[in-house]
Amino acid sequence: MKERGILAVVSGFSGAGKGTIMKGLMSRYDNYALSISATTREPREGEVHGREYFFVSEEEFEDMIREDRLIEYARYVDHYYGTPKDYVMSQMEAGKDVILEIEIQGALKVKEKFPETLLIFVAPPSAEELKRRLVNRGTETADVIDARMKRACEEAEQMDRYDYLLINDEIDRCVEELNGLIQGQHRRMTLQEGFVSQMKQELKNISE
Ligand code: 5GP
């Protein structure tokens, strides 16, 4: 039987480069599945429904909440974002390691529901660099950039609730480090599970 996949959450300030790291990881390794979230925000240029996000209306999103079709959801800078349950569960069952690229409130909710989830926070080398990346991306208005920088200040307060901090100084190095972290967690879980069931059996045998 194929081993069940693990769940990893990757969060980080808007503009920290999570998207690029995810692309690198997906193109180099085939054991990962990236969850596609639902959101009520408008698509950015080049974004495709069902690829970057499922772009839905507020009503559709609220239906998903009511019907318990989301693992978690949160409001982020005026919009809803949430993780559809079915895909994540079926991919993990199929043995894929599933990555959620979500913000902090959602990450903490997932950890509460599934305590063995690995929480990884991606940060740029400095705050200056973050602002520069947001401005250079050129997809947001000045107001949205300000809102996202404010949100980064709030999120920084909670960075220490994550299991690992990944500094995005160089993409290739980051991708390898991320893969190492997730595979390390895999080995830890397998070892633990194997050890626990073997120990239970041995104790039973001895006490019989
Ligand atoms: P963006 O609008 O830049 O694509 O995403 C804004 C923020 O929402 C990012 O921090 C992103 O990680 C987060 N996000 C994306 N999908 C989800 C989701 O399903 N749930 C939660 N809680 N946050 C999400």
- Distance from C-alpha of 208 to C-alpha of 206, rounded to nearest angstrom: 6
Task: Name beta bridge partners: 67.
Answer: none
How far the first Cα of the chain sits from its last, in Å, is: 29
Mean pLDDT over 156-174 rounds to: 93
Specify the residue with its C-alpha closest to ligand 1, atom 1: 14
Ligand 1 atom nearest the C-alpha of 82 is 19
pLDDT of residue 1: 57
pLDDT of residue 167: 93
pLDDT of residue 102: 94
- Distance from C-alpha of 113 to C-alpha of 131, rounded to nearest angstrom: 33
Q: In this structure, how many other beta carbons lie within 10 angstroms of the beta carbon of residue 33?
A: 19
Mean pLDDT over 42-62 rounds to: 95
Specify the residue with its C-alpha closest to ligand 1, atom 15: 102
The CA dihedral of 28, 29, 35, 40, to the nearest 10 degrees, is 0
Q: In this structure, how many other beta carbons lie within 10 angstroms of the beta carbon of residue 113?
A: 11
Least confident of 43-57, 132-146, 174-188: 132-146
Say yes or no to pLDDT of 66 above 60.
yes
pLDDT of residue 139: 79
Specify the residue with its C-alpha closest to ligand 1, atom 10: 103
pLDDT of residue 133: 85
pLDDT in tens, 97-154: 999 999 889 999 999 999 999 999 999 988 888 888 888 887 788 898 888 888 888 8
Among residues 90, 96, 81, 116, the alpha carbon closest in space to that of 9 is found at 116
Residues having CB within 6 Å of any atom of ligand 1: 14, 37, 41, 72-74, 76, 81-83, 101-103, 105-106
pLDDT of residue 69: 97
Question: pTM, whole model, 2 decimals?
Answer: 0.87
Distance between Cα 148 and ligand 1 center (Å): 12
